[in-house]
């Protein structure tokens, strides 16, 4: 710092806090939030993460055998989506990225619908969960302005509802994300931005995306609170989400949660992560993964047994198997249905195309 700058008054200082409750081995780091002693809730959260992982593994198998399109797993990141979704109310609105299957499953979207979507079938966009929740967002970060718009509608209508937008770390490098955050801060909107910081934007590491020490601090420039949490600690994610959503619902404006986790798998089934990161790095990160961490907590504090574990494993596998059977049994859509749900009255040009493919009712 130049000498004359040292003499200038400091007009602002900022801090970013990090939240964590469970160490990788499941031991407790600090006083737990009240919900963490509710065994029914903790087991439900564990089941949600286990179901998401079982579903991901089967979905990858379907893709590898040509029965599903390109697919993005959440391997190692299940605590972020489940921790956030479990804190939401049904009337809140989720705006997910393409990696947030676990949140959709928690919100009631069927596995069959998710498989249809990734299989390229428009029927997968049917909402088997809260009708106002948004579908998967494929373009990176483009759901952030939508989230701000939804939250603006809530505020305009004086509704005690919150928009929850889940993004990846790479999305924070996008202009539309900053514009959404800036608008949310100025208008004090009821929206929670969740940054799933899995360290990689496809093959680009975090250090090449941003010079910021944290991603949470990006909220400060937009005029609201940003917090970093251990994204492999579902207790920390849920606790931060509880506070942030309650604050937004009470009219106190937006918040941002940076959940630091790690993408244990490839970016998608079209990616080969071994080309840009080492096996040793990934193996080291497996020691921090969220499901084993919560299992260790259940064993040490809630008398979780091998029988309990086997029951959940079997239950999840059976649910996934049934869903896959239903998906595979779903016949293809007639080609003329591609024109459905586009217009209240189909323009003549499209009506002609529909007749060309053999629909006499066009």
pLDDT, tens only, 203-261: 999 999 999 999 999 999 999 999 999 999 999 999 999 999 999 999 999 999 999 99
Joined tokens for residue 318: 């059976």
- Quote the CA–CA distance of 188 and 166 in Å, as a whole number: 19
Count the neighbouring beta carbons within 10 Å of the beta carbon of residue 352: 11
Three-class secondary structure of residue 95 per DSSP: strand
**pTM (2 d.p.):** 0.94
The one catalytic residue among 18, 64, 156, 276? 276
Q: Could you tell me which of 253, 276, 273, 275 has the C-alpha nearest to residue 265? A: 273
277, burial (CB in 10 Å: exposed 0-12, middle 13-18, buried 19+): middle
Of the pLDDT bands very low, low, confident and very high (cuts 50, 70, 90), residue 361 is low
Q: Decide if 267 is catalytic.
A: yes
Q: Could you tell me which of 149, 80, 110, 146 has the C-alpha nearest to residue 294? A: 80
Residue 132's Cβ-side half-sphere holds a number of Cα atoms within 13 Å equal to 17
Average pLDDT of the chain, as a whole number: 95
**pLDDT at residue 127 tops 80:** no
Of the pLDDT bands very low, low, confident and very high (cuts 50, 70, 90), residue 15 is very high
The one catalytic residue among 107, 161, 255, 263? 263
The one catalytic residue among 19, 161, 255, 267? 267
- Quote the CA–CA distance of 134 and 125 in Å, as a whole number: 9
**pLDDT at residue 173 tops 80:** yes
Three-class secondary structure of residue 35 per DSSP: helix
> What's residue 3's pLDDT?
63
> What's residue 109's pLDDT?
96
Joined tokens for residue 238: 């849920």
Tens of pLDDT, residues 62-94: 999 999 999 999 999 999 999 999 999 999 999
Kindly state the average pLDDT of the residues 130-154: 96
Kindly state the average pLDDT of the residues 29-55: 98
> What's residue 7's pLDDT?
84
Give yes or no for a contact between 167 and 144, defined as CB atoms under 8 angstroms apart: yes
- Cα dist from 102 to 85, 106, 330, 359, whole Å: 8, 6, 23, 39
**pLDDT at residue 99 tops 80:** yes
Q: Could you tell me which of 266, 184, 254, 247 has the C-alpha nearest to residue 226? A: 254
Q: Decide if 249 is catalytic.
A: no
Of the pLDDT bands very low, low, confident and very high (cuts 50, 70, 90), residue 30 is very high
Of the pLDDT bands very low, low, confident and very high (cuts 50, 70, 90), residue 293 is very high
> What's residue 315's pLDDT?
98
Of the pLDDT bands very low, low, confident and very high (cuts 50, 70, 90), residue 122 is confident
The conformation of residue 244, written as its DSSP 8-state character, comes to H
- Quote the CA–CA distance of 150 and 183 in Å, as a whole number: 12
Number of helices and strands in the chain (H, E): 13, 8
> What's residue 362's pLDDT?
60
- Quote the CA–CA distance of 326 and 310 in Å, as a whole number: 24
Q: Decide if 146 is catalytic.
A: no
Q: Could you tell me which of 80, 143, 123, 11 has the C-alpha nearest to residue 289? A: 80
Give yes or no for a contact between 242 and 45, defined as CB atoms under 8 angstroms apart: no
> What's residue 59's pLDDT?
98
> What's residue 234's pLDDT?
98
- With a pLDDT cut of 90, the percent of the chain lying above it is 88
Give yes or no for a contact between 118 and 68, defined as CB atoms under 8 angstroms apart: yes
> What's residue 272's pLDDT?
96
> What's residue 126's pLDDT?
72
Tens of pLDDT, residues 331-356: 988 888 888 888 999 999 998 999 88
């Amino acid at each position: 710092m130049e000498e004359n700058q040292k003499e200038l008054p400091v007009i602002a200082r900022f801090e970013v806090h990090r939240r964590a409750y469970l160490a990788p081995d499941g031991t407790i780091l600090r006083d737990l939030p009240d919900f963490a002693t509710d065994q029914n809730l903790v087991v439900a959260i564990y089941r949600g993460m286990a179901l998401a992982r079982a579903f991901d593994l089967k979905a990858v198998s379907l893709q590898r055998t040509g029965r599903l399109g390109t697919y993005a797993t959440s391997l190692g990141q299940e605590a972020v989506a489940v921790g956030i979704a479990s804190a939401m109310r049904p009337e809140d609105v989720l705006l997910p990225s393409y990696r947030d299957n676990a949140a959709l499953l928690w919100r009631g979207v069927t596995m069959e619908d998710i498989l249809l979507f990734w299989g390229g079938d428009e029927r997968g966009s049917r909402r088997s969960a809260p009708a106002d929740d948004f579908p998967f967002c494929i373009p990176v970060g483009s759901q952030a302005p939508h989230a701000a718009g939804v939250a603006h509608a809530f505020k305009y209508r004086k509704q005690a509802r919150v928009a929850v937008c889940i993004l990846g770390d790479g999305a924070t490098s996008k202009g539309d994300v900053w514009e959404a955050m800036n608008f949310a801060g100025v208008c004090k909107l009821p929206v929670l931005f969740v940054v799933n910081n899995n360290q990689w934007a496809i093959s680009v590491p975090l250090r090449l995306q941003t010079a910021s020490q944290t991603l949470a601090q990006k909220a400060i420039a937009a005029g609201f609170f940003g917090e970093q949490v251990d994204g492999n600690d579902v207790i920390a994610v849920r606790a931060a989400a509880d506070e942030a959503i309650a604050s937004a619902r009470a009219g106190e404006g937006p918040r941002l949660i940076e959940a630091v986790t790690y993408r244990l798998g490839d970016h998608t089934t079209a990616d080969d992560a071994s080309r840009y990161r080492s096996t040793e790095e990934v193996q080291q990160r497996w020691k921090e993964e969220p499901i084993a961490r919560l299992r260790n907590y259940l064993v040490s504090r809630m008398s979780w047994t091998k029988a309990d574990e086997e029951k959940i494993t079997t239950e999840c596998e059976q649910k996934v198997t049934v869903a896959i059977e239903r998906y595979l049994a779903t016949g293809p859509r007639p080609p003329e249905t591609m024109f459905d749900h586009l217009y209240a009255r189909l323009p003549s040009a499209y009506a002609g195309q529909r007749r060309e493919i053999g629909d006499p009712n066009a």
